[in-house]
């Protein structure tokens, strides 16, 4: 190509620039689309009918309609979930962004004092009345410390935390990791650290039971540093508070650290958008019907509003706080139990207010249709070692997340040292959790939420765990020989590398005639000079030795027949996508892009 013709080329390509994308909210009807585009519904129905689609203006636009509609209006269309649209709108308006209270989850090893700490914080005696007593379970509760609210998730433990995250819900802003001063870091402590880190949630350490004679604070801090949590006192950046939940000692200091960290984090919300939240728990009450506990994240939820949640919908008939007291509205970070669902939703589903029940019904119609076509609920695609290159294709720096389980600690340490060394410049191996023992449900849930693979070395996965892994679409690979494990990882990393793109020349054709065909557009009558021209190949339009356009061959005919390939010496009619300004004498140069593994 000639350098002095570059400006002319740019001008031409600018003229052919693709139109902007149109984003449609799920549940949009054809009538609404026509009004948005200022198109007559009758004309659009006729065009769709010619494309073999039978539809009326009140039908909801689904994924089957996107491509034909895009072709008719000449613009790319995309259907987005209403929750995504509301969140983008909320965070785009900087003038209306304010800070919201933090939502905190307490994690730690069994019997290290999770429930006792929540009891001390709320100054109630939940621990004493959990058995036999009647308590109001709405999944979370809110306390006020020096005039500032803090919401605590009532279901402490990393299992519930990660189950929500596996469904795409990020509820927790801060994790309080409770560690007993006498026991120190235990297996579930390590799991909790891994789960919190995988979620990207900051950790505040609460060393509990400092009143006990066996307490050894330095030992606990040393153990924490080995797990990557270096406390501020030792030059790190992890906040650590020494407490006694039983004696309510230093509880205020812990709450002040939570408030301080949340202010540094600047947890944002917007009150002036339709309310959005996350379902924490859901149940079917024998008398009142479906009930769900929701933490509001955006907007203000009010009684009487219509909503959608997953494939459920309803109208807020009543709301209750954690004490069972009716409330009229719920602001961001405030947990409420909601009456008014048409059926029981799933924990982790987003909860979104809509303008009216009709819109809710249309959104649910779209979602149910989408699920039926997928033959089951939509689930995020998980990673398998045999198909790693299909994952993370859009990321510049790729990462392979692994969970390591082995028979003894020596094996764990060996694998933790050896496996990361296999990382390359293009792909980083990240071990998000490593421990001894059999593979557990907690491991599977962490892998599901983090899109990780579980590697077992000289250990087992019980049949029940294999069933959970199948349900969560998590791959478990078991090894008894370390060299086989390493070889598999090396091969997987080679497969993950994006293949190099290589242009392969197909052939050239000369435009000798131009035809304007109704409902088809401009067709180039060509003679193939060499090689071959194929359907769906890329094509350069060359005029006076200058490339004036590059696009896809979307139609190819020989005489009146549709064909996929035309060879040298034959005539054909072809259409280059979105290019009408062809002239006699133009050259069509066909090529394809092939990918070669590195």
List, in order, residues 6 or more apart from 134 with CB less than 8 Å away: none
List the 453-457 sheet strands across, edge first.
427-436, 398-406, 453-457, 476-479
The DSSP annotation for 513-538 comes to EEEEETTTEEEEEEEEEEEEEETT-E
Helix ranges, 95-157 (H): 114-122, 126-129
Other Cβ atoms less than 10 A from the Cβ of 349: the count is 23
Find tokens 């304007």 and name the residue: 516
Q: Are 446 and 432 in contact (CB under 8 A)?
A: yes
| Tokens of residue 407, six digits | 């028979």
Q: Does residue 218 sit in helix, strand or coil? A: helix
| Tokens of residue 402, six digits | 């692994």
User: Cα dihedral angle (176, 87, 360, 58), rounded to 10 degrees?
Assistant: -160
List, in order, residues 6 or more apart from 526 with CB less than 8 Å away: 509, 510, 511, 512, 533, 571, 572, 573, 574, 588
Mutual orientation of helices 30-37 and 41-50 as an angle, nearest 10°?
120
Strands 521-534 and 500-517: antiparallel
Region of residue 401 (phi > 0: left; psi between -120 and 50: alpha; otherwise: beta): beta
Q: Does residue 310 sit in helix, strand or coil? A: coil
Q: What is the pLDDT along the chain (598 residues), one digit of tens a residue?
A: 444 444 444 444 444 444 468 889 998 988 888 888 888 888 888 888 877 777 888 888 888 888 888 888 888 888 999 999 999 999 998 899 999 999 999 988 888 888 889 889 987 444 444 443 333 566 788 999 989 999 998 765 666 667 676 666 688 999 999 999 999 999 889 888 988 888 889 999 999 999 999 999 999 999 999 999 999 999 999 999 999 999 999 999 999 999 999 999 999 999 999 999 999 888 888 888 999 999 999 999 999 999 999 999 999 999 999 888 999 999 999 999 999 999 989 888 999 999 999 999 999 999 988 877 654 444 444 556 555 545 544 444 478 899 999 988 878 888 988 899 888 877 889 999 998 889 999 899 999 988 899 999 988 888 889 889 988 889 898 888 888 888 888 877 776 545 556 788 899 999 999 998 887 789 999 999 999 999 999 999 999 888 899 999 999 999 888 999 999 999 999 999 989 899 999 999 999 988 765 5
| Tokens of residue 172, six digits | 């927790």
Other Cβ atoms less than 10 A from the Cβ of 368: the count is 11
Name beta bridge partners: 177: 107, 205
pLDDT score for 405: 94
pLDDT score for 471: 87
Domains of the chain with CATH codes? 19-80 (no CATH), 101-266 (3.40.50.300), 276-373 (2.40.30.10), 385-496 (3.40.50.10050), 500-596 (2.40.30.10)
- The model's pTM is 0.68
pLDDT score for 575: 94
The DSSP annotation for 155-174 comes to S-SHHHHHHHHHTT----SE
pLDDT score for 581: 92
- 413 vs 406: CA distance, rounded Å: 9
CA angle in degrees (0–180, nearest 5) for 452-455-457: 165
- 143 vs 255: CA distance, rounded Å: 10
| Tokens of residue 535, six digits | 């359907």
pLDDT score for 286: 81
């Amino acid at each position: 190509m000639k350098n002095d013709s570059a400006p002319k080329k740019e001008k031409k390509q600018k003229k052919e620039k693709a139109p902007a994308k149109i984003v449609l909210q799920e549940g949009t009807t054809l009538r609404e689309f026509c009004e948005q585009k200022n198109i007559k519904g009758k004309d659009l129905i006729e065009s769709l009918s010619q494309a073999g689609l039978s539809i009326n203006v009140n039908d909801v636009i689904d994924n089957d309609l996107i491509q034909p509609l895009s072709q008719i209006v000449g613009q790319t269309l995309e259907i987005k979930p209403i929750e995504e649209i509301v969140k983008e709108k909320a965070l785009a308006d900087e003038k209306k962004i304010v800070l919201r209270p933090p939502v905190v989850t307490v994690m730690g090893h069994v019997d290290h004092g999770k429930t006792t700490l929540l009891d001390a914080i709320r100054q109630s005696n939940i621990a004493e009345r959990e058995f036999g007593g009647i308590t109001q379970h709405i999944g979370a509760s809110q306390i006020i410390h020096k005039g500032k609210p803090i919401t605590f998730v009532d279901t402490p433990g990393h299992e519930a935390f990660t189950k929500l995250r596996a469904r795409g819900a990020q509820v927790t802003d801060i994790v309080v990791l409770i560690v007993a001063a006498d026991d120190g870091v235990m297996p579930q402590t390590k799991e909790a650290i891994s789960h919190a880190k995988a979620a990207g949630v900051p950790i505040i350490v609460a060393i509990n039971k400092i009143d006990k004679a066996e307490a050894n604070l330095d030992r606990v801090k040393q153990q924490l540093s080995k797990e990557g949590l270096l406390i501020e006192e030792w030059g790190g950046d992890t906040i650590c508070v020494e407490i006694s939940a039983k004696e309510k000692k230093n509880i205020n200091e812990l709450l002040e650290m939570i408030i301080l960290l949340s202010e540094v984090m600047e947890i944002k919300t917007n009150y002036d958008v339709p309310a959005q939240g996350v379902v924490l728990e859901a149940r079917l009450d024998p008398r009142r019907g479906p009930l769900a506990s929701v933490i509001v994240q955006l907007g203000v939820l009010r009684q009487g509003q219509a909503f959608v949640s997953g494939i459920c919908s309803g109208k807020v008939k009543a709301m209750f706080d954690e004490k069972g007291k009716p409330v009229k509205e719920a602001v961001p970070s405030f947990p409420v139990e909601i009456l008014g669902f048409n059926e029981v939703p799933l924990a982790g589903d987003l909860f979104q207010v809509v303008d009216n029940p009709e819109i809710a019904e249309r959104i649910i119609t779209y979602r149910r249709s989408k699920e039926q076509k997928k033959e089951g609920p939509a689930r995020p695609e998980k990673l398998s070692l045999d198909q790693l290159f299909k994952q993370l294709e859009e990321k510049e720096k790729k990462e392979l997340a692994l969970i390591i389980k082995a028979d003894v600690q020596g094996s764990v340490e060996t694998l933790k040292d050896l496996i990361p060394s296999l990382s390359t410049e293009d792909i980083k191996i990240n071990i998000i959790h490593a421990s001894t023992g059999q593979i557990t449900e907690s491991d599977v849930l962490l892998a599901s939420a983090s899109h990780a693979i579980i590697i077992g070395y000289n250990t087992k996965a019980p049949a029940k765990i294999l069933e959970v892994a199948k349900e969560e679409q998590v791959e478990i690979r078991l090894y008894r020989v370390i060299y086989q494990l390493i070889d598999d990882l090396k091969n997987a990393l080679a497969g993950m590398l994006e293949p190099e793109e290589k242009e392969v020349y197909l052939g050239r054709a000369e435009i000798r005639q131009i035809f304007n065909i109704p409902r088809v557009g401009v067709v180039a009558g060509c003679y193939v000079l060499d090689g071959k021209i194929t359907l769906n190949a890329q094509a350069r339009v060359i005029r006076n030795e200058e490339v004036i356009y590059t696009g896809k061959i979307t139609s190819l005919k020989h005489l009146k027949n549709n064909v996929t390939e035309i060879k040298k010496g034959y005539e054909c009619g072809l259409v280059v996508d979105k290019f009408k300004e062809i002239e006699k004498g133009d050259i069509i140069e066909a090529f394809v892009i092939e990918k070669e593994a590195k």
